[in-house]
């Protein structure tokens, strides 16, 4: 078997066998097949695509290239949740405590962000003392005892995916549904959960800008998960405006705490409820949507969801006093009000621009080596469909000097305001099972 023959076969639009996919991935990980040949194959895949069997086979090869987490020793049902990413997306930090308080186990490995804001790990590290690296023994012990842990991904999980992703990033081969689905699902399957909920973002601030493209990706990931024996459901959710108000690491964690206290922004709270409901239904912890919502409201009102967050902070070395005292978070030097320059209805928020503004302030990374400033960010107070008066505050910029003027201008220009009434956005656009 030769790599060049496999490249030509895919270039000509033919399906690759399991053996051929194994030959390429195994050879690449071992250093026997060079970057330039794998780059050629990736480009052929971008043009010709991968069918369902090829997607499953590729995912399994990446999964089997490294360690897998075995959660079978943990009593109960372990669930996992993945988001394709968006501006102000901090749902994991609300969903995980709620789900744990309802009785499911969530043993989650998350990543750092590259782009507009930090990832889940960066948000958690804005809590003073919080450790995202804990030993496997402590990880299992924590999940067993309190039902929740969110930690960094180990170095030996899906090494093939790490190599392929780095190559895709520099060869213009990111945009392939089969490659994206395989990358995401290999990591999710390696994490060991029984059931997987996928939050596929759609819109201006998401990787998938149209619902048609998002539905194709969701279908591919759900098919892979179910083919590998994991109950998998995907929700297509709105990212045509920032989720909630806060964009920036400490700001987002504060919003998480407020949401668990029952004071969160309406759109963010609704999405968290919808995702938790689906997770309870897919695991048969609840038989109906009404029963699921009753369970969610109960753990919020009696404080047990908040207690799960507090326990996770304590177990992972953080200061639990942040739940009562937000001054313990890093504080920005200045807060600049962004005011509407006209009276009318907010028609559009250029969400990716809000993300860009947050990134240049220091809330995100342009390169993987950039250092995040947890105190900076943006609060988006005006939402699509809202009526605002000229001079009304529609956003706030939290700054520590770095590119403040640019961030202010970008944020202000991100809002489009018109005279006609504008309909508010739906939060959940579709569910793929």
Q: Would you call 187 a catalytic residue per the annotation?
A: yes
Q: Which of 317, 263, 260, 313 is nearest to 99 (CA)?
A: 260
The span from the CA of 82 to the CA of 197, in Å, is 6
The span from the CA of 231 to the CA of 36, in Å, is 37
What values do phi and psi take at 15, rounded to 5? -80, 140
Name residues whose C-beta falls within 8 Å of residue 416's C-beta, 6 or more positions apart in sequence.
346, 347, 348, 349, 350
The span from the CA of 407 to the CA of 405, in Å, is 5
Q: Would you call 406 a catalytic residue per the annotation?
A: no
**Catalytic annotation, pick one of 123, 187, 194, 201:** 187
Based on DSSP, count helices (H) and strands (E) in the chain, helices before strands. Answer: 16, 13
The span from the CA of 318 to the CA of 128, in Å, is 6
The Cβ of residue 245 has, within 10 Å, a number of other Cβ atoms equal to: 22
Q: Would you call 73 a catalytic residue per the annotation?
A: no
Q: Would you call 35 a catalytic residue per the annotation?
A: no
Q: Where are the alpha helices (DSSP H) in 172-288?
A: 177-190, 211-227, 249-260, 266-282
**Pair 259, 223: CB distance under 8 Å:** no
**Catalytic annotation, pick one of 80, 89, 161, 373:** 161
Q: Would you call 301 a catalytic residue per the annotation?
A: no
**Catalytic annotation, pick one of 65, 110, 176, 183:** 183
CA separation (Å) from 296 to 301, 305, 310? 9, 9, 17
**Catalytic annotation, pick one of 168, 188, 230, 310:** 168
**Catalytic annotation, pick one of 81, 82, 90, 365:** 82
Q: Are strands 105-110 and 78-83 parallel, antiparallel or unpaired?
A: parallel
**Pair 280, 102: CB distance under 8 Å:** yes
Q: Which of 191, 197, 212, 220 is nearest to 277 (CA)?
A: 197
The span from the CA of 139 to the CA of 382, in Å, is 40
Catalytic center residues: 82, 161, 168, 183, 187
């Amino acid at each position: 078997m030769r790599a060049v023959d496999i490249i030509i076969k895919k270039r000509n639009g033919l399906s690759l066998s399991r053996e051929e996919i194994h030959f390429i991935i195994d050879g690449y990980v071992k250093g026997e097949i060079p970057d330039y040949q794998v780059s050629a194959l990736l480009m052929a895949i971008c043009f010709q695509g991968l069918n369902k069997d090829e997607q499953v086979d590729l995912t399994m090869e990446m999964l089997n290239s490294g360690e897998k987490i075995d959660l079978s020793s943990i009593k109960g049902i372990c669930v996992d949740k993945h988001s394709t990413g968006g501006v102000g997306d901090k749902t994991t930090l609300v969903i995980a405590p709620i789900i744990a308080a309802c009785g499911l186990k969530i043993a989650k490995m998350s990543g750092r962000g590259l782009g507009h804001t930090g990832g889940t790990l960066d948000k958690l590290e804005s809590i003073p003392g919080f450790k995202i690296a804990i030993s496997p023994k402590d990880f299992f012990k924590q999940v067993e005892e309190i039902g929740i842990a969110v930690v960094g991904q180990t170095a030996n999980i899906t090494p093939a995916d790490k190599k392929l992703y780095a190559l895709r990033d520099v060869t213009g081969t990111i945009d392939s549904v089969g490659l994206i689905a395989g990358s995401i699902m290999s990591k999710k399957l390696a994490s060991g959960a029984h059931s997987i909920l996928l939050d596929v973002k759609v819109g201006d601030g998401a990787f998938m800008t149209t619902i048609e493209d998002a539905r194709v990706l969701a279908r591919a990931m759900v098919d892979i998960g179910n083919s590998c024996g994991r109950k998998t459901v995907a929700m297509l959710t709105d990212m045509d405006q920032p989720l909630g108000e806060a964009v920036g690491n400490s700001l987002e964690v504060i919003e998480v705490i407020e949401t668990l206290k029952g004071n969160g922004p309406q759109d963010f709270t609704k999405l968290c409820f919808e995702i938790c409901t689906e997770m309870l239904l897919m695991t048969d912890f609840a038989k109906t949507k009404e029963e699921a919502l009753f369970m969610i409201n109960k753990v919020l009102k009696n404080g047990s969801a908040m207690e799960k967050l507090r326990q996770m902070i304590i177990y992972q070395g953080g200061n639990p006093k942040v739940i009562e005292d937000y001054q313990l978070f890093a504080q920005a030097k200045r807060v600049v009000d962004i005011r509407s320059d006209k009276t009318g209805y907010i028609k559009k928020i250029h969400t990716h621009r809000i993300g860009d503004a947050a990134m240049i302030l220091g809330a995100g990374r342009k390169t993987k080596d950039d250092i995040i400033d947890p105190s900076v960010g943006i609060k988006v107070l005006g939402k699509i469909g809202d009526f605002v008066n000229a001079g009304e505050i529609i956003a706030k910029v939290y700054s520590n000097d770095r590119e403040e003027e640019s961030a202010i201008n970008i944020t202000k220009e991100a809002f489009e305001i018109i005279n006609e009434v504008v309909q508010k956005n739906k939060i959940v656009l579709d569910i793929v099972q």
